[in-house]
Chain A
């Protein structure tokens, strides 16, 4: 079974600065998908960014980018120019290409200081 680990329960960043959230996963598969979801206080789960394991190029979405290290099974999220609205829980998730289940990490609470 796959496992996803987020080793930082809480992180803090100054507004306009850059922060990196860590995620590692364990799998024996060679092809899969990785996701970062944001959960603000409203509880709504919002997809931030997605990475296909077969793609070597790191995904980017505006201020959000990932550092995908397949050999190390690492998938970190970098948020540039942090904004107050970025404050939320962030979840890393894994999905096999052969399955339906999203496996989530325990989450990282990001606080943004004005």
Chain B
């Protein structure tokens, strides 16, 4: 099992450009999450999907959109990138949303917006 995979690993964008970060998990998990990690800080939740067909805002959703394409895939879209969105983005998944089950994280995508 690959666990949680993310593409791309690195990306440089110019202000105003758009892009989609891809995430896939092969653990048959119901819930998936997108976080961002800024330098010297912990992760902050952008959006999550408790189950296929549902998405909800997290702590810092402004400037992002998400799509839960199917049970395996959860994408994050930046419509018009801004320098403030320079960060490392992590996707995660868990078996169930309302339990103590751990979240499994992908390797992250380092995004720089110039």
Contact = CB atoms under 8 A, between A and B. Distances in A.
Contact of B56 (A43, A44, A52, A100): A100
Given A100-B48, A101-B58, A44 B42 contact: no
A45 B37 CA distance: 11
Interface string A38-66: 00001111110010100000000000000
Nearest to A47: B102
A85 B41 CA distance: 22
Contacts of B107: 42-44
Nearest to A109: B40
A93 interface: yes
Size bracket of the A interface: 20 to 34
A43 B45 contact: no
Contact of B43 (A42, A46, A47, A102): A102
A107 B41 CA distance: 7
Interface residues of B, number: 25
B98 A97 contact: yes
A75 to B, nearest CB: 14
A100 B97 contact: yes
B102 A100 contact: no
Contacts of A50: 100, 102
Nearest to B88: A43
B74 interface: no
Given A43-B108, A91-B42, A102 B103 contact: yes
A104 B43 contact: yes
Interface of B: 31, 33, 35, 40-45, 48, 50, 56, 58-59, 88, 90, 92, 97-98, 100, 102-103, 105, 107-108
Interface of A: 4, 33, 35, 42-47, 50, 52, 91, 93, 95, 97-98, 100-102, 104-107
Q: Shortest 7 CB-CB distances between A and B: which pairs?
A: A104-B42, A45-B105, A33-B100, A43-B108, A47-B102, A100-B97, A101-B45
